[in-house]
A and B are shown apart, each in its own frame.
Chain A
């Protein structure tokens, strides 16, 4: 069921999500996932791969309707989403891919968005001519072009080389910082979560449940290397405690 949440809020209450495999076997993927995000909050869902993180995003995005529970999405405004694969239209240029979902975007806004993501030189290119890193940035530009109130990111930096991932991560941080967006990020990379989020939800293996919630109170830009390393260590040891 999908309800309109309070202004600018995302409210997730998933009691159960069950998948039926091709052979008719039923297995539970999610159990009792509940959280609420306020306006401007950035949360990260972190957990072992295959635990059902993407399913949570898909339920929130309205792509999975067969579950027990309710989702309250921000009352007004649009949804922006970055899928794990860029999912661009191969037969449209970069500019058209971004402009298509946001018909009311002005030329200037579009240009400045492409500039923010270093895509100016590629606006006339087709997705087949782009590297994965570039395509990811286009997907991000598309999600931001609709001026979303809710932004869902599914492993936006996965399988990029480290230098590129770092750069894109900083760009991403700057972009969500400058906009009134509620952001939910799915990742298996702790550092990514700690750098970007102000709340982290740790998920268990299947069926995924929230095993811990970690608030990060220092503002994103003020987090020092040492602090980030300390938090990562803390979370990692907690995760190890659980699995041992």
Chain B
């Protein structure tokens, strides 16, 4: 109920402001919705959404898998941490724009260069979070696994991963939103399609309606992913926790 009121309030404010500043600067909600529907009819919207979403998922997957592996290693092996730490600090502090531009210069205006640039932007963030998780692993359970000679795969799956769960969820949550923002920069600078490219075109035409239509359509997609995929996974992973309280 509170959510609904808050959402209505947001739409109301938007509508009021659009009346004040005029539709040139801020078109009202009904105009943006109309643009979304129109572009959806031609199929163009779904194509651009799909292209962007594919890039987001590819970059996100690469960053999460590689980041988890590196974070685990750095959290558990002191030498790896000492070697990896300076790299991590450099990567953490490189602006996204620099990484994207360099990736396109070195790798050409290709799909691979674009996706990798996004993944590299997200990577250090995942490493830092997972490293924290790896440092907090329960040594008592480790010893239990050693005494009972649990095979490596079982150890990872049943002992380590569940403990990393909250850290992976945190990295994933912030990751999805970070990744999609950087994907838009990549598309704006060096791809011939996707939401970012379309927003670039709209920017040149000063078409605020189109900019908002594409941006909000993608936010809706992320919302659907959040409620239909992320939350059910989280509920399943924390089954044991809910019942204890």
B186-245 at interface with A (beta carbon < 8 Å): 237, 239-241, 243-244
B142-169 at interface with A (beta carbon < 8 Å): 143-144, 146-150, 154, 158-159, 162
Which 9 A-B pairs rank lowest in CB-CB distance, beginning with the nearest? Answer: A128-B244, A101-B148, A126-B240, A91-B162, A87-B144, A91-B240, A81-B147, A87-B140, A61-B147
The complex places the Cα of A38 from the Cα of B140 at a distance, in Å, of: 29
The verdict on B16 contacting chain A, using a C-beta distance below 8 Å, is no
A101-138 at interface with B (beta carbon < 8 Å): 101, 126, 128-129
The verdict on B19 contacting chain A, using a C-beta distance below 8 Å, is no
A78-108 at interface with B (beta carbon < 8 Å): 78-81, 83, 85, 87, 89-92, 100-101
Residues of B within 8 A of A (CB): 140-141, 143-144, 146-150, 154, 158-159, 162, 237, 239-241, 243-244
A60 to chain B minimum Cβ distance, whole angstroms, is 10
The complex places the Cα of A80 from the Cα of B147 at a distance, in Å, of: 7
Which of A63, A79, A80, A89 has most B Cβ within 10 Å? A89
A-B contact pairs, 20 of them (CB 8 A): A63-B146, A78-B148, A79-B147, A79-B148, A80-B148, A81-B148, A83-B140, A83-B144, A87-B140, A87-B141, A89-B159, A91-B240, A101-B150, A126-B243, A128-B240, A128-B241, A128-B243, A128-B244, A142-B148, A146-B148
Q: Which residues of A contact B146 (CB under 8 A)?
A: 62-63
Q: A87-B141, A91-B162 are in contact. Are A100 and B147 (CB under 8 A)?
A: no
Q: A87-B141, A89-B159, A100-B154 are in contact. Are A63 and B240 (CB under 8 A)?
A: no
The complex places the Cα of A79 from the Cα of B141 at a distance, in Å, of: 16
Q: Would A100 and B144 count as touching, CB distance under 8 A?
A: no
Name the CB-closest residue of A to B154. A100
B204 to chain A minimum Cβ distance, whole angstroms, is 52
The complex places the Cα of A197 from the Cα of B239 at a distance, in Å, of: 41
Name the CB-closest residue of A to B245. A128
Q: Would B158 and A78 count as touching, CB distance under 8 A?
A: no
